[in-house]
Amino acid sequence: MLKEAKSSKIAKGLVVLSLNEEGRVEPEKINHILTELKKEPARRALPILRKFLTLIKRQINTYEGSLEKFDSNADSSSNLISDKISHARGKKINLVIQENQSLIAGFRMRIGDDVYEDSIASRIARLKKSLT
Amino acid sequence: MSSITDLIRKEIENLSTDATRTNVGTIATLADGVARVEGLSKVMYNEMVEFPNNVLGIALNLEEDSVGCVLLGETSLLKEGDEARTTGKLLSVPVGKGLLGRVVDAVGRPIDEKGPIDSDITYPVERIAPGIIPRKSVTQPLQTGIMAVDSMIPIGRGQRELIIGDRSTGKTTIAIDTIINQAKINKKGKESGDANFRPVYCIYVAVGQKNSNVARTIKVFEETGAMEYVTIVSAPAADNPANQYLAPYAGCAMGEWFMENGMDALIVYDDLSKHAVAYRQISLILKRPSGREAYPGDVFYLHSRLLERSARLNEDNGNGSLTALPIIETQMGDVSGYIPTNVISITDGQIFLETDLFNKGIRPAVSVGLSVSRVGSAAQIKAYKKVSGKVKLELAQFRELAAFSQFESDLDAATKARLDRGARIVELFKQSAFNPVSVEIQTAVMWAVQNDFFDSIEVSNIASSVNSLKEYLSTQGTEACEEIYKSGKLEKETEEKLRSALEDWKRTQS
Amino acid sequence: MITLASLSETTSGIVEKFGIDWPLLVAQGFNFILVAVIIWHFGLKKVLLTIKEREEKIADSLKNAEKIKLELESTEKQQQETLQEASLEAKKTIALAQEKAKSYIESQKEEARKQAEEIIEKARSSMALERQRVLNDAREEIASLVVLTASKVLQRELGDDEKSRFSESAAKEIKFSA
């Protein structure tokens, strides 16, 4: 457990080194870290790297998300949603627009572990749940 | 059919059109009834988590990188990569009188094929026990109907009395007899129409039992007419350990409803040893650090928070009570084991059952020396206290002198008298299973012993004589018993009536 | 002397007349005495003893008989009393037994009636349960149909404009928190 804590501490330190002033992950900095680690591999490189990967993914999820709509076109609704979530989170959130016909209409946005949904499919699913 | 369409129309009209926000995660590993979920960053401890195919889980391990959830349903329907979402709710079970006469599982779902539970109220399974101020001391008796217990180890409403012993020593039988006796008393009280009568509702929690045992218990309750006052919460051995872990808390929540609504309830946990084993399994799979005997460090808290929820509340809080009869199985009579010592220190006394006594034919095999009730005679009616006050001492003296009984011819008259009296009391306390005796008849029988009515009867005939006396008192000598039942006291006139009834009975014996 | 001689003449006259032979008489007398002694010693004494014993026995028996008679009388009296008591007890027991039998029959009737009621009640409640189950099943089926229909219709019938309008309004209404 102590070793895990140590690996975790090292990985967290590496994450801090990978971020820019806005708190976003910079690929160049990550490449630089990986190169340095290859030159002088740490004793428990694998757990540290695993933890590093998890933390980087988590960090990315704080400012990147996905927006599912019935079509893949960016329109005023998707821009409005992007602006609103950026305002709420206090930073610019990048939303990748994906097509999902099963929604019928509306949207489903996922950012990190939070899922916001207001679609016809979700309302129908809610109705089904309340009826059964 | 129109009711169905009305229902559907109503649901459609009431459908919420707001956006939903949920917190989700992905199953990373799934093994032995526990799912490790990555994500779920906003889940709270003990929150219900929803998995696909209507499987529910509880978040028990909140770690930095993942959440350990124990699964409550069919785990074979899940796979790695499935999405889990928070529900924002704690696990709750239905409570209320609609549960009486029903058999439910650990989350309150009916398993007796008698339709849905008639209940609108739910209580969370984990609740904080009543504090110090709302409580009151235990003064009302809870009659088990077992003479050996009611006379020497009396139990009161709101007490926690542990039933401890090796396997097959009659622990469950004592609990079942107590429940049957409550049903008998409830029926009698209902028929009497007494406005001050307080029935006792019972909950029997079967943890890790064989399904056949639970079925047999249900049959006994049905045959004795006790089922209408009992709720059975069943988490058999075939259930996953999460259900076995939750079942006692679910049962306790059902009992708390009665307690908080001014009623009296009795809950039997059968048994907490298997409950601790199920919790150990969950904790080991969740990779929590293990301690003595591989139990997790909080195994004491597991039982203390459960048993502390049984209490007697004062009048300002409804004057209700929840009496607990936890059962613990020992190995080879070792009461100094980890779990037994834990639970002994939590409860307000124990009834210790010995294998030796059981094998000798003394059933219930109550060890008078090791059994104690910390509430004591405060939980006995005055009449019974009067006649049974000396019994424990007499039995203790008998045990001390029993070694000398082989030299019977060399003993002085006083010692011989003590030996005779002790041997008769031991025979008197033998009772068949599922046959509880009402307190007024117990009082009458004890009075008969104290007034030497059994001294002329051979020890080997005592058991049959007692049965004959009990029958006589139930059919012909009812006047004195009725007075004891109504007043709870043993006045001079009652004693005279009792004496005359006993003399009449004695004549039929010779 | 004359008297003596006349006495002796008379005596010899008598002896001659009656044939008394003095030596024979003496011998016979001796024999008689001997036999008498023998008979007394070996026979009569014992017989008399036996007779005495028997007389004593008879006297005792008579005494016992008296005693027995008294005892018999008292026993008979006791017997009568016991019989009377027993008969009273028997009457009481019979009356009690009759009462018990009556109340037993009544309770059995009551029991049978209750059981019949219970059976009817069970049948009623199981019918109600069955009905409820059927209704629940029907409700679920209808609900599934409703949902499926709505989903299919909406998917097919909603135009792109309407879908966009819905998305716009959803985007406007939604509120995000940190």
Sequence-distant (≥ 6) Cβ neighbours of residue B116 within 8 angstroms: B110
Give the domain-ending residue among B70, B89, B108: B89
Q: Would residue B142 count as lying in a domain?
A: yes
Q: Would residue B379 count as lying in a domain?
A: no
If pLDDT is split at 50, 70 and 90, which confidence band does C156 have? confident
Query: Using alpha carbons only, what angle is made at residue A132 by residues A128 and B2, rounded to the nearest 5 degrees?
Result: 100
Q: Would residue B85 count as lying in a domain?
A: yes
Q: Identify all chain A residues contacting B17, using CB atoms and an 8 Å cutoff.
A: 123
Q: Would residue C115 count as lying in a domain?
A: yes
Q: Would residue C145 count as lying in a domain?
A: yes
CB contact under 8 A, B19 and C174: yes
- Look up the CATH number of the domain holding residue B70: 2.40.30.20
In this structure, the answer to whether residues B197 and B176 fall within a common structural domain is yes
Q: Using CB atoms within 10 A of its CB, is residue A36 exposed (0-12), middle (13-18) or buried (19+)?
A: exposed
CB contact under 8 A, C146 and A88: no
Instruction: Please tell me the distance from the alpha carbon of residue B103 to that of residue B113, in angstroms, as a whole number.
Output: 9
Is the pLDDT reported for residue C1 higher than 60? Answer: no
CA separation, residue B1 to residues A36, B417, C129, C139, C148 (Å): 74, 79, 16, 9, 20
In this structure, the answer to whether residues B253 and B162 fall within a common structural domain is yes
In this structure, the answer to whether residues B113 and B34 fall within a common structural domain is no
Q: Would residue B263 count as lying in a domain?
A: yes
- Chain C CB within 8 Å of residue A70 CB: yes
Give the domain-ending residue among B57, B89, B121: B89
**How large is the average pLDDT for residues B464-487?**
86
Query: Nearest 5°: phi and psi at B50?
Result: -100, 135
Is the pLDDT reported for residue B202 higher than 70? Answer: yes
**How large is the average pLDDT for residues B69-97?**
92
Is the pLDDT reported for residue B213 higher than 70? Answer: yes
Counted domains in chain B: 3
**Collapsed DSSP state (helix, strand, coil) of residue B324:** strand
The pLDDT score that the predictor gives to residue C11 is 61
CB contact under 8 A, A110 and B25: no
Is the pLDDT reported for residue B338 higher than 90? Answer: yes
Sequence-distant (≥ 6) Cβ neighbours of residue B28 within 8 angstroms: B36, B37, B38, B66, B80
**How large is the average pLDDT for residues B384-403?**
85
CB contact under 8 A, A114 and B42: yes
**How large is the average pLDDT for residues B281-309?**
95
In this structure, the answer to whether residues B398 and B319 fall within a common structural domain is no
In this structure, the answer to whether residues B62 and B132 fall within a common structural domain is no
Mean pLDDT over all residues of chain B?
Answer: 91
Q: Would residue B49 count as lying in a domain?
A: yes
The pLDDT score that the predictor gives to residue C10 is 66
**How large is the average pLDDT for residues B92-118?**
93
pLDDT higher for B229 or B65?
Answer: B229
Sequence-distant (≥ 6) Cβ neighbours of residue B165 within 8 angstroms: B171, B329, B330, B333, B352, B353, B354, B355, B365
Q: Model pTM?
A: 0.80
Q: Using CB atoms within 10 A of its CB, is residue C33 exposed (0-12), middle (13-18) or buried (19+)?
A: exposed
Give the domain-ending residue among B48, B63, B89: B89
Mean pLDDT over all residues of chain A?
Answer: 86
Which residue of chain A has the CA closest to B16? A123
Q: What is the pLDDT of residues B357-375, one digit of tens each?
A: 999 999 999 998 899 999 8
If pLDDT is split at 50, 70 and 90, which confidence band does C52 have? very high
If pLDDT is split at 50, 70 and 90, which confidence band does B105 have? very high
The distance of Cα B74 from the centroid of its chain, to the nearest Å, equals 29
Which residue of chain C has the CA closest to A105? C163
SS (H, E, C) C4-23: HHHHHHHHHHHHHHHCCCHH
Q: Identify all chain B residues contacting C135, using CB atoms and an 8 Å cutoff.
A: 3-4
CB contact under 8 A, C174 and B8: no
- How many Å lie between the alpha carbon of C70 and the closest alpha carbon of chain B? 30
- Look up the CATH number of the domain holding residue B482: 1.20.150.20
**Collapsed DSSP state (helix, strand, coil) of residue A44:** coil
Q: What is the pLDDT of residues B414-461, one digit of tens each?
A: 888 888 888 899 999 999 999 999 999 999 999 999 888 888 888 888
Q: Pick from B94, B38, B30, B110: which is nearest to B67 by CA?
A: B38
Is the pLDDT reported for residue B477 higher than 90? Answer: no
Q: Pick from B25, B64, B60: which is nearest to B44 by CA?
A: B60
CB contact under 8 A, B1 and C173: no
CATH class as words, domain A64-131: alpha beta
In this structure, the answer to whether residues B103 and B51 fall within a common structural domain is no
**How large is the average pLDDT for residues C26-42?**
90
Q: What is the pLDDT of residues C100-123, one digit of tens each?
A: 888 889 989 998 998 899 899 889
Is the pLDDT reported for residue C13 higher than 80? Answer: no
If pLDDT is split at 50, 70 and 90, which confidence band does C2 have? low
Which residue of chain C has the CA closest to B11? C143
Which residue of chain A has the CA closest to B24? A113
- Position C24, amino acid: L
Sequence-distant (≥ 6) Cβ neighbours of residue C92 within 8 angstroms: none
* pLDDT in 10s for each residue of chain A, 132 residues: 677 788 888 889 999 989 888 888 889 999 988 888 888 777 778 888 888 998 898 899 888 999 998 877 777 888 888 888 888 888 888 888 988 888 888 889 999 899 999 888 888 888 888 877
Report the range of poorest mean pLDDT among B316-320, B428-432, C33-37, C170-174: C170-174
Catalytic residue set of B? 374
In this structure, the answer to whether residues B66 and B106 fall within a common structural domain is no
- Chain A CB within 8 Å of residue C136 CB: no
Instruction: Please tell me the distance from the alpha carbon of residue C112 to that of residue C106, in angstroms, as a whole number.
Output: 10
If pLDDT is split at 50, 70 and 90, which confidence band does B45 have? very high
CB contact under 8 A, A77 and C170: yes
The pLDDT score that the predictor gives to residue B407 is 65
- Chain A CB within 8 Å of residue B22 CB: yes
Q: Would residue B100 count as lying in a domain?
A: yes
> Using beta carbons and an 8 Å cutoff, which residues of A are at the interface with B?
8, 51, 54, 110, 112-118, 122-123, 126-127, 130-131
Counted domains in chain C: 1
**How large is the average pLDDT for residues B27-55?**
91
Q: Would residue B352 count as lying in a domain?
A: no
Sequence-distant (≥ 6) Cβ neighbours of residue B435 within 8 angstroms: B145, B177
Which member of C138, C139, C170 has the closest CB to residue B19? C170
Instruction: Please tell me the distance from the alpha carbon of residue B171 to that of residue B351, in angstroms, as a whole number.
Output: 9
Query: Nearest 5°: phi and psi at B371?
Result: -90, 145
Range of the domain at C69: 21-149
Q: Would residue C54 count as lying in a domain?
A: yes
Q: Would residue C174 count as lying in a domain?
A: no
Q: Are strands B20-31 and B264-270 parallel, antiparallel or unpaired?
A: unpaired
If pLDDT is split at 50, 70 and 90, which confidence band does B322 have? very high
Query: Nearest 5°: phi and psi at B412?
Result: -80, 170
Range of the domain at B68: 24-89
The pLDDT score that the predictor gives to residue B265 is 97
HSE, side-chain direction, 13 A CA sphere, residue B97: 8
In this structure, the answer to whether residues B233 and B319 fall within a common structural domain is yes
Contact B122, B93 (CB under 8 A): yes
Mean pLDDT over all residues of chain C?
Answer: 84
Most confident of A18-27, B228-237, B360-369, C155-164: B228-237
Q: Would residue B253 count as lying in a domain?
A: yes
Q: Would residue C138 count as lying in a domain?
A: yes
The pLDDT score that the predictor gives to residue B485 is 87
The pLDDT score that the predictor gives to residue C3 is 61
Q: Pick from B21, C177, B18, C163: which is nearest to A75 by CA?
A: C163
